[in-house]
């Protein structure tokens, strides 16, 4: 191309090369989103396969983590043993269930004591009821006082009004739970004269069995009652006085699902889930894939 004055004009064209799509970094964001979605799907499917108690325990932790700070020791991540739900260690699951039961028992204890305190009839009858959360579970005891005939006449398994009223009130509360129930009967050290066919063993078992019938009539499912025990005078409440009225009692025990040595720490379980989720998402990005 000629220009004015006979000089040739040179046109220089520059090409700006764009980076290939596969060399960019935007795909990593999309990949991270995909991994997050897959992990969320995995967690949902895993939790759906759990029993109701475990689901409630996990829900309780994430709703109020501070409430689980009273664990009994640290635990390992339930996902650390493998990527398959079948490889998850059972110990953390037992631990979180026990913590949930501990909280339920404490709440039930308070509810029962409040209901008993509101009942004027029981106050007039001087009925003594002890409710405690022990290493075994929730224990409720109807304890004789005074002359020792508040709940049962001496030497008889026939209930007084105080026994019926107390058991009906307690049974209505216990019907809200799903734990097993064990009933125990205890007597003092007094003997039944010369009766060789009926003694403290039979009496304690009959009283416990009578309590079972009342509890079931108030809504406690029959299949929840797993044992009815008669201890006679072998487990006195007052150790140094076998004849004390307080040794005559009925015990209702709701045992923990897990033994004390498998004490729970739901915080460790939930923290393990969180750590495993974060690690699974961030690991591909660290490798630069």
Q: How confident is the model at residue 22 (pLDDT cuts 50, 70, 90)?
A: low
Question: What is the pLDDT, as a whole number, of residue 241?
Answer: 95
The residue among 3 and 148 whose pLDDT is bigger is 148
Q: How confident is the model at residue 263 (pLDDT cuts 50, 70, 90)?
A: very low
Encode the chain in three state secondary structure: CECHHHCECCCCCCCCCCCCHHHCCHHHHHHHHHHHHHHHHHHHHHHHCCCHHHHHHHHHHHHCHHHHCCCCCCCCCCCCCCCCHHHCCCHHHHHHHHHHHHHHHHHHHHHHHHHHHHCHHHHHCCCEEEEEECCCEEEEEEECCCCCCCCCCCCCCCCCHHHHHHHHHHHHHHCCCCCCEEEEEECCCCCCCCCCCCCHHHHHHHHHHHHHHHHHHCCCCHHHEEEEEECCCCCCCCCCCCCCHHHCEEEEEEECCCCHHHCCCHHHHHHHHHHHHHHHHHHHHHHCC
Tell me the pLDDT tens digit for each residue of 222-245: 999 999 999 999 999 999 999 999
Question: What is the pLDDT, as a whole number, of residue 81?
Answer: 42
Residue 177 near residue 140 (C-beta atoms within 8 A) = no
Most confident of 26-30, 92-96, 114-118, 251-255: 251-255
Q: How confident is the model at residue 37 (pLDDT cuts 50, 70, 90)?
A: confident
The yes-or-no verdict on residue 189 having pLDDT over 70 is yes
Quick one: how far is CA 22 from the chain centroid? 51
Question: What is the pLDDT, as a whole number, of residue 111?
Answer: 95
The Cβ-side half-sphere exposure at 122, using a 13 Å CA radius, reads: 22
Question: What is the pLDDT, as a whole number, of residue 85?
Answer: 46
The yes-or-no verdict on residue 259 having pLDDT over 70 is no
Which has the minimum average pLDDT: 39-48, 171-180, 248-257? 39-48
Question: What is the pLDDT, as a whole number, of residue 264?
Answer: 43
- pLDDT exceeding 70 applies to what percent of the chain? 69
CB burial string 14-45: b at 16+ within 10 A, e below: eeeeeeeeeeeeeeeeeeeeebeeeeeeeeee
The yes-or-no verdict on residue 170 having pLDDT over 70 is yes
Question: What is the pLDDT, as a whole number, of residue 183?
Answer: 98
Q: In whole angstroms, what is the distance from residue 184 CA to residue 205 CA? A: 7
Residue 245 near residue 187 (C-beta atoms within 8 A) = no
CA distances in angstroms from 208 to 23, 114, 202, listed in the order given: 78, 24, 10
Average pLDDT score over the chain: 79
Tell me the average pLDDT across 64-82: 48
Q: How confident is the model at residue 70 (pLDDT cuts 50, 70, 90)?
A: very low
The yes-or-no verdict on residue 52 having pLDDT over 80 is no
The domains of the chain are located at 25-99+262-287, 137-255
Tell me the average pLDDT across 146-165: 93
Tell me the average pLDDT across 164-184: 95
The model scores a pTM over 0.75:
no
Superfamily of domain 137-255: OmpA-like domain (3.30.1330.60)
The residue among 133 and 43 whose pLDDT is bigger is 133
């Amino acid at each position: 191309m000629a220009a004015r004055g006979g000089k040739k004009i040179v046109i220089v064209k520059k090409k700006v090369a764009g980076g290939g799509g596969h060399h960019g970094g935007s795909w990593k964001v999309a990949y991270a989103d995909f991994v997050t979605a897959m992990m969320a799907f995995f967690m949902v499917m895993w939790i759906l396969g759990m029993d109701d108690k475990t689901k409630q325990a996990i829900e309780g932790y994430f709703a109020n983590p501070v409430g689980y700070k009273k664990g009994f020791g640290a635990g390992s991540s339930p996902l650390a043993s493998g990527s398959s739900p079948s490889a998850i260690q059972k110990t953390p699951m037992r631990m979180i269930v026990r913590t949930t039961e501990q909280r339920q028992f404490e709440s039930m204890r308070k509810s029962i004591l409040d209901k008993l305190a509101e009942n004027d009839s029981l106050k007039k009858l001087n009925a003594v009821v002890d409710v405690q959360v022990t290493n075994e579970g929730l224990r409720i005891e109807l304890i004789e006082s005074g002359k020792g005939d508040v709940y049962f006449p001496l030497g008889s398994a026939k209930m007084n009004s105080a026994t019926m009223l107390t058991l009906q009130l307690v049974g209505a509360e216990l019907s809200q739970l799903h734990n097993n129930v064990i009933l125990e009967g205890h007597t003092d050290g007094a003997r039944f004269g010369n009766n060789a066919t009926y003694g403290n063993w039979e009496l304690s078992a009959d009283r416990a069995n009578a309590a079972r019938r009342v509890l079931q009539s108030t809504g406690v499912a029959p299949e929840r009652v797993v044992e009815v025990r008669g201890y006679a005078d072998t487990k006195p409440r007052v150790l140094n006085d076998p004849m004390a009225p307080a040794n005559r009692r009925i015990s209702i025990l709701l045992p923990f699902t897990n033994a004390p040595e498998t004490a729970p720490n739901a915080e460790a379980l939930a923290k393990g889930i969180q750590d495993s989720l974060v690690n699974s998402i961030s690991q591909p990005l660290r490798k630069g894939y």
